[in-house]
Structures are given as structure tokens and as C-alpha cells.
Amino acid sequence: MDLHQDPIQSQIAEAVALALTHTGEVRRELAAVGVPTLGLPTSLGGMGLGLTADVAVHRELGRGLETAPELRETVLCLELLADAGVDGLGDVLARVHEGVGTAVSIGLHGPTSIRLDGDGLLWGTSEALPATGWDVALVRAATDGGGHRWLLVRPDGATVRREEVTLLGTPAARWRFEAAAGQPVPVVEAQRRRAVAAARVRQAALLLGIAGRALDTARAHVGRRLQFGKPLLEFQTVSHRITTLIGEADGWELLLAEAAWAHDQGAEAPATAPQVLAAAAEHALKAARLSLQLHGVRGMLAHSVPATAYRLATVEAVRLGPPAGLWLEAGRARLAGTRA
């Protein structure tokens, strides 16, 4: 396996970086260069370039400090539906390809607070989701028998209401279901595991991009900031901390590339996705904190790169679960594989 970025990935990254320099709405600008359809399967109207293409996209979004969580939510939801045989998604897919459509999954990453009553109607409030509307939601609802069912829900102002919230200071939304109707959908467990693994790899790519931008900014700052007549970078207490994180980043980038490649090859490695996301989350937090510390007061300005990277890393590091829980999941999966 070649772990170097191939020419297609390089071109994708360049196209995303160029789109982020434009002044239009971000999602429309990204849609103009094929995001988010690059990695989607052809059955959903995508290009079928796989997770390696998505990694290039989201790493570059991280470097641009443009997290766009609704992009990853949409791809995750569509991948969950890929083998469910759902009809009538053509309008949603068309809007997604135009950069205006959004799909979300609710209750996927933990115990669900949405319940299904005896009449097949949904009640309850979702977890915090990206602060955007949605064209369709795939809802995991608890049933009276202790199990759960998946339902596809279209927005309906009479039975689905939005509540504005914040997620660590970042705008988010919760959705309250009050006798909302949904279409039952069969989500195969193997498909669920594969879709969640891909989502974690995309999130890891975003976090490593944020970390890379934070470290590059810190390195440039200490290279020109003078103290006692020489750049801060020449002090070992500074240079060692930066080079240690840069070295760690190289290792996590290799693990990220391996995870994406293995996923595209259809390899089953339950420990890899939670491991790479946990590592990327912790690395991004360390890189953002160091950049903020080295910039001092300058780094605390609300719209500075260090402050922005720190704020985004804090939110995105826990979006799909805290690193501690991910490490435990990866360890259990690795032990189970050893015993098998």
C-alpha cells in the first residue's frame, strides 16, 4: 500500500482550498468542485472515489478552519441508506449535489431519547446537531419492547420543532418530535458499522487538518518573534514542543491514510476507525493549545487563527464521542480480534 497522497487527492485538496477562498456560500462553492459527491457511491449519484477522496476534502477543510459538520452528517446519513432500498430520495440527492440539501442521523452514536409510540409516531428531543435545517432525517427510535427501529422523517413544522442551543459555544440545534410520522427503513447492522467507521475517519481528517494549521501558524510566529535578540524557535523549550507534535502528526497521517485505504478495499478492522479518531482528537487539542500558548495575548483575539483553531478543535474533538471512550472501544475491538 502506498501511503503517499496520490495526484487525484492533491488535485482534490487544491480544488477545496480554492473554493474556500471564494466569497460565496461555502457549501455551494464546495458543491461546484464536487463536494460532497466525490466519495459517495455511484448508486447515490456520487463519483465513487471512496474514503480516500473524502479524507483529502476534510483535511483541507480543517486546514481552512471551515468545519462544515453538515457535510459529514449528510454523507453519513446517505451511506446508512445506501443499501436500504429507499425510494423517493431523488429530490434530496439533487439538492445535496447542488450544495443546499442536508440529511442527518439522529440517535446513532448513543442511547436514543426518541421513542416510538403504539401508533408508529415519534416523540422526544434529539441530541445537539449542526445548526442547519435538513431535508430528511434518519431517526433511531426506542420501542416499548426495549429494542429500536429506524425511520426516515421529512421536516414538518407541525410535528418537528427546532430548538436553538450551543455546543461548547458553537451554534447547534436540537429537534423536538411531537407525534411525527416516519417511514420505516431497514438499516443493516454491517452497513451501520461501515458507515460509522467512515464517518470517524472523515472526522479524524478534519481534526488533523485543524492541527496542521495550528502548528504551521505557531511555527511561523515563533520563527519571527524575538526574545533576548533571537527567534523564539531557537529556544529548545519551544522548538522541542513543536517538533514533537509535528512528528506525531506524521504518524497519525499515516494511520489515517491506512484506515481510508483499508475501508475502500472492504477490509474489516473494527479497531482502526475509533483509534485514528481518538488519536486525531487528542493531537488536535494539543496542537491548538500549544499554538494558543505560544501566541500569548495575540492568540486570544477572537478571530485569530490560534483562537479559532482552539475553539473548533474543542468542539470537533468530541462530536462523535470523547477520545477516552473511543480508545476503550478500539482496545475492546483489538482484544476481541486477538481472541478470535
| DSSP class per residue in 273-332 | HHHHHHHHHHHHHHHHHHHHHHHGGGGGSTTSHHHHHHHHHHHHTTTT--HHHHHHHHHH
What's residue 281's pLDDT? 98
Reported as a pLDDT band with limits 50, 70 and 90, residue 196 is: very high
pLDDT (tens digit, 9 = 90+) per residue, 16-32?
999 999 888 999 999 99
C-alpha–C-alpha distance, residues 316 and 125, integer Å = 22
Which of the pair, 226 or 147, is modelled with greater confidence? Answer: 147
pTM of structure: 0.94
Question: What's the topology of domain 84-89+100-186?
Answer: Butyryl-CoA Dehydrogenase, subunit A; domain 2 (2.40.110)
Summarised one tens digit per residue, pLDDT across range 29-48 is 999 999 988 988 888 888 88
User: Is the predicted pLDDT of residue 5 greater than 70, yes or no?
Assistant: no
Q: Cα angle vertex 204, ends 282, 129, to 5°?
A: 95
Cell numbers of 300, please? 486570544
Q: Are 84-89+100-186 and 190-339 the same fold in CATH?
A: no
Domain ranges of the chain: 84-89+100-186, 190-339
Q: Who's near 135: CB < 8 A, 6+ residues apart?
A: 91, 92, 95, 96, 101, 102, 103, 154, 155
| Domain spanning 190-339, CATH class | mainly alpha
Q: Are 313 and 207 in contact (CB under 8 A)?
A: yes
Task: Out of 196-200, 219-223, 280-284, pick the least confident.
Answer: 219-223
